[in-house]
Amino acid sequence: MLDTKRYWFQSLETIIGRVFSLLPISPNGYTCLSGVFGLMGMYCLITQKLAWAIIFFFSGGFLDFIDGAVARNKNASTKVGAYLDTIFDRYVEGMIFFGLLFLPLPTIGLPAYAWIFLAMFGSIITTYAKAAAKEKELVNQELKGGLLSRGERLILIFIALILGLIYPDFKITVYLLIIIAVLSNFTALQRIYSAINLNKHGR
């Protein structure tokens, strides 16, 4: 949903792009740094340093916002940069889910690792449904939208981690993972339906 509302953040993006363009770091450099912070956040989850994990993942997410803002400010957007940004996004999200496996999460309905798998699977299929629709030429433009796009997933994951810090029994964290698992797979189905429906109407 947030991926269709980029104009909400246009003013903020312009300011951030101008500020961080002053540093001698390329847009792709910021993208790579987001991956480094993702690795550090994953390590902190594995070692159960939750506060540090939150800081590193939040910083990585902010760097992911900066790379595009700097590229647009410098008029340096490239297909390679956009491709790298997408790849690093998937890696960092995978790092978060992998790190969650090492937290002492309780069983709620299913073992926590099952909810983590379903959440990650929904995330992958949501992204793949978009890529495959374009690859198979079902749509002319990038397929976006749906109830739980990457922006909403990351926000819910950050909230889940913060609540895990506040409530160390991690029950609320698992409930949020269940929500992500269910809604991300629902979003994948929304995008699959949209791709087929748009193609049916010849758009």
Catalytic sites, residue numbers:
89
Token pair 């993208």 is found at 31
Tokens of 190: 């929304």
Sign of CA dihedral 82, 86, 87, 92: positive
Could you say which DSSP state residue 77 is in? -
What is the CB neighbour count within 10 angstroms for residue 192?
A: 20
What is the CB neighbour count within 10 angstroms for residue 142?
A: 10
Dist CA 128 CA 193 (whole Å): 13
Alpha helices in 47-170 (DSSP H): 50-73, 79-100, 112-135, 150-166
Could you say which DSSP state residue 4 is in? G
Closest residue by Cα to residue 27 from 81, 88, 75, 80: 81
Q: For residue 108, what are the β-bridge partners?
A: 110
Q: Quick check: 133 and 143 in contact, CB under 8 A?
A: yes
